[in-house]
Amino acid sequence: MRQKRIKGVDAEYLQQMGVKTDITALNLKNNHQLYVEVGSGKGHFITNLAKDHPEIQFVAIEKIDSVCYRIAQKKNEMKLDNLEIILGDAENLEIFFKKESIDHIFLNFIDPWPKARHHKRRLTYSTYLSKYQQLLKKDGRIQLRTDHLDLFNDSIEYIEEVFDIVSEDRNLSESSYMTEYEIKKRKTGPIYQLVAKMKVE
């Protein structure tokens, strides 16, 4: 769904709210676990997770400025010192993060890109999986959650080539940590979830 633009919200305004808007390395404390959500939407999932786990460093990445603004609002209202927000694209993950620095990557309700010619744009496609392999720690994990069955089935094929699948759920129960989109979509059908870990060499 196309997001409505918010008047006056741009990269400069977001920067004033504490959002990282430049494409440079993120300066994080090395003594914390690091959880990253790629494509955070309005931030309902990651802000609630960060609130309940102050001992973990969270990073929300969102490429739409007006949506990023909503995450920043929640962060400030909830006083989340353990959440960093990046206005940016998954293409630049290797710039934002050091190799073998991430413990967990969340891919929640990513664009399914249903047409075959667009599959390479999926955040579970092999080119992105290679990025995750470089950035995850040796025991790192990725979690995919979606309502799109074809994306889920295709992603299993992509992921099992380079990761070990830990769990697969084709009718995920409700939890304390859901995106706004998930809450809405649960009324119309099942939610699918896959968790995978780095292969042990």
91 token code pair: 């293409």
Cβ(56)–Cβ(82) below 8 Å? yes
Please choose, from the candidates 31, 63, 28, 34, the residue with its C-alpha nearest in 3D space to the C-alpha of residue 49.
Answer: 34
Average pLDDT over residues 53-82: 95
Model confidence band, residue 1 (pLDDT cutoffs 50, 70, 90): very low
3-state secondary structure of 131: helix
Average pLDDT, the chain: 94
Residue 138 lies in a domain: no
Model confidence band, residue 30 (pLDDT cutoffs 50, 70, 90): low
pLDDT at 3 > cutoff 70: no
- Give the residue numbers marked as catalytic: 111
Residue 190 lies in a domain: no
pLDDT at 62 > cutoff 90: yes
38 token code pair: 């790629």
Residue 66 belongs to domain spanning: 1-21+28-88
Structural domains of the chain, count: 1
Average pLDDT over residues 45-71: 96
Phi-psi region of 99 (alpha: psi -120 to 50; beta: other; left: phi over 0): beta
Tell me how far CA of residue 137 lies from CA of 59, 60, 119, 197, in angstroms: 16, 18, 27, 10
Residue 17 lies in a domain: yes
101 token code pair: 């620095």
14-23, 29-38, 148-157: range with highest mean pLDDT:
148-157
Cβ(47)–Cβ(72) below 8 Å? no
pLDDT at 7: 64
From CA 127, how far away is CA 192, in angstroms rounded?
22
CATH code at 36?
A: 3.40.50.150
Residue 127 lies in a domain: no
pLDDT at 33: 96
From CA 138, how far away is CA 21, in angstroms rounded?
29
Residue 148 lies in a domain: no
Model confidence band, residue 151 (pLDDT cutoffs 50, 70, 90): very high
Model confidence band, residue 5 (pLDDT cutoffs 50, 70, 90): low
Residue 192 lies in a domain: no
pLDDT at 135 > cutoff 80: yes
pLDDT at 201 > cutoff 80: no
pLDDT in tens, 75-125: 999 999 999 999 999 999 999 999 999 999 999 999 999 999 999 999 999
Residue 129 lies in a domain: no
Residue 40 lies in a domain: yes
